[in-house]
Amino acid sequence: MQIFRPVVILAGFAVAAISAQDDMDPPPEMEGEMDETDNYNPESAIRLEDMISEDQLKQLFAKIDTKGAGKISVKDFLDFGQGMRRHRANHYADESFGEMDGDGDGKVTFDEASNSHFGSHGDDTSPDHEHDKARVRAMFDAADKNGDGSLDPTEAVFFIHSDADPEVEEAVARVDLRQKDKNGDGKIDKTEVAELLGEAGVDMYYGQLDVNKDGFLDHKEFMAWESGRFFEHDGWTQLIEHADANKDGFVTVDELLKSREQEAQREHHFTYEHWAHELEL
Ligand SMILES: [Ca+2]
Ligand SMILES: [Ca+2]
Ligand SMILES: [Ca+2]
Ligand SMILES: [Ca+2]
């Protein structure tokens, strides 16, 4: 049973995205220092009976555990998430392609892609619009995998749903980085990123975003933030930290089940619960 229910899921992801933003402003206490039992509010508790059943969880686990190892890692969750984004993007592909392909010749040119993206705002000459135009160009070029200057239906999926293709996501991040890179050194420093993260956000997240610890964000490090992958990674890391009873870096079905029996840990199970609904398990 894999009937697709986009509304439920998109709403769920929107909530997840909003709560990620809420983490920014006002700044909460540092996650690592937060004692969940002290801050735990029973009013907002997710009830066990509202979560997916044991059987649904087992079915979902089997799908994520593609190697059949009986345990899953942060990377397995991330890979499955990427697969779900593609699944979602492909679901809408035909409809979106038809709308973009203005002359109906089965190919989407840059002008058609640009028109469908900007509609009647195409003649705007503001700096923000120039930035958007550069973004659209980058997305188009990255989606045009065979480089023939137009998008076939498969390529168009990546233009419309940039989160379904890491190369398009990276192309967007390069353009966005140029906009934030005020001193033009090709990297983002703390001052340049403050506008985006806020001072509190810089204190909280810059160290984690700067993976190679050189004091700057290159486009890949910046991309983690721009694409929302940073929060995704952080979310799975926290789930595993809380659920991984034997501390081997993986979670088994039993560890997941035991973890959600503890009220204070249920929020960590939020995202994959949505996958189960999306896949109608
Ligand atoms: Ca092409
Ligand atoms: Ca810079
Ligand atoms: Ca760095
Ligand atoms: Ca474990």
**pLDDT value at residue 62:** 97
Contacts of 129 (CB under 8 A, 6+ apart): 121
Q: Which ligand lies nearest to the CA atom of residue 180 in the structure?
A: 2
- The position carrying tokens 């390069």 is 174
**pLDDT value at residue 17:** 37
Beta strands per DSSP E along the chain = 108-109, 150-151
**pLDDT value at residue 41:** 54
Q: Which ligand lies nearest to the CA atom of residue 250 in the structure?
A: 4
**pLDDT value at residue 79:** 94
**pLDDT value at residue 278:** 86
What is the DSSP track for 247-279? -SS-B-HHHHHHHHHSGGGGGGGHHHHHHHHHT
**Across the strands, what pairs with 72?**
251
Q: Which ligand lies nearest to the CA atom of residue 155 in the structure?
A: 1
**Structure-block tokens of residue 212:** 């190679």
10-residue block means of pLDDT along the chain (281 residues)?
Answer: 36 36 36 44 72 94 96 96 90 88 95 89 80 95 98 94 92 93 94 88 92 94 90 92 96 95 86 87 91
**pLDDT value at residue 3:** 37
- Are 276 and 56 in contact by the 8 Å Cβ rule? The answer is yes
**pLDDT value at residue 50:** 86
Q: Which ligand lies nearest to the CA atom of residue 220 in the structure?
A: 3
Name the DSSP letter for residue 108: E
Q: Which ligand lies nearest to the CA atom of residue 249 in the structure?
A: 4
CA of 225 to the centre of ligand 1 (A): 29
Q: Which ligand lies nearest to the CA atom of residue 242 in the structure?
A: 4
Q: Give me the CATH code for the 91-197 domain, please.
A: 1.10.238.10
- Neighbouring residues of the ion ligand 3, judged by CB less than 5 Å: 210, 212, 214, 216
CA of 105 to the centre of ligand 1 (A): 13
- Are 268 and 3 in contact by the 8 Å Cβ rule? The answer is no
Dihedral sign computed on CA atoms, order 102, 105, 106, 109: negative
Q: Cα–Cα–Cα angle for 203, 263, 30, nearest 5°?
A: 10
Which residues of the chain form CATH 1.10.238.10? 6-28+45-50+65-86+229-278, 91-197
CA of 217 to the centre of ligand 2 (A): 9
Q: Give me the CATH code for the 6-28+45-50+65-86+229-278 domain, please.
A: 1.10.238.10
CA of 187 to the centre of ligand 2 (A): 4
CA of 112 to the centre of ligand 1 (A): 13
What is the rounded end-to-end Cα distance, in angstroms, of the chain?
7
CA of 185 to the centre of ligand 3 (A): 13
Q: What does the alpha-carbon distance between residue 239 and residue 227 come to, in Å, rounded to a whole number?
A: 20
CA of 67 to the centre of ligand 4 (A): 16
CA of 57 to the centre of ligand 4 (A): 16
Q: Which ligand lies nearest to the CA atom of residue 148 in the structure?
A: 1
DSSP three-state, residue 105:
coil
**pLDDT value at residue 182:** 92
